[in-house]
A and B are shown apart, each in its own frame.
Chain A
Amino acid sequence: SQTIHQWPATLVQPVGSPLSLECTVEGTSNPNLYWYRQAAGRGLQLLFYSVGIGQISSEVPQNLSASRPQDRQFILSSKKLLLSDSGFYLCAGQESYEQYFGPGTRLTVT
């Protein structure tokens, strides 16, 4: 199994400020990695996934970008946050068929 680390747990940022959320993976090599966003009481929206270093697939056009500079590191970024970027962000890694999730970051854009 693998462990997904995410930080911070909560974040309050003003509109127009930059964002960088980091996710690191422990316990496996070359995992598929995912960034999801979840609105309150709703399902998961897949934002980005990566099958290897430097390989990023974007599912939804948006104000966000992702990078994978190392095998076990996945970063979600924005140059200028919008109010609509508020939400609960989850990073996940996949081993075989099962996904392992991090604890999530609650982002509030004010």
Chain B
Amino acid sequence: SQQGEEDPQALSIQEGENATMNCSYKTSINNLQWYRQNSGRGLVHLILIRSNEREKHSGRLRVTLDTSKKSSSLLITASRAADTASYFCATDAWQGNTPLVFGKGTRLSVIA
């Protein structure tokens, strides 16, 4: 299985601080995605990084990918209380039509 695994499982920070979450996976991937889930809601796609990319930015989000270490990180800068949510990484294998594999998620709490 190439299941992504997020680290830490839970993270609590003060508003304005940066939050960093990590994801490790097991086998070669086509791309890696990060999703966000507010409590009791569906997941929302945040950002996708391809296997030939090393870093990508979107607003306050910065994602890095190290394929040699089979790991990715998601950095949220200048966090806000509204960033409180669970964050999941998902990996996409090279084989066609195989489902995304989601990690177990990091629960982020941003305290105002």
**Distance between Cα atoms of A100 and B61 in the complex (Å):** 19
Residues 18-46 of A, flagged 1 when their CB comes within 8 A of B and 0 if not, give 00000000000000101000000111101
User: How big is the A interface, by class?
Assistant: 20 to 34
Size of the chain B interface, CB-CB below 8 angstroms: 22
Q: A25: shortest Cβ distance to chain B, in Å?
A: 13
Q: A47: shortest Cβ distance to chain B, in Å?
A: 11
What residues of chain A lie closer than 8 Å to B40, measured between beta carbons? 88, 104, 106
Decide if B104 touches A43 in the complex (CB within 8 Å): yes
What residues of chain A lie closer than 8 Å to B35, measured between beta carbons? 99
What residues of chain A lie closer than 8 Å to B31, measured between beta carbons? 97
Q: A residues engaging B (CB < 8 A)? A: 4, 32, 34, 41-44, 46, 49, 51, 59, 88, 90, 92, 94, 97-104, 106
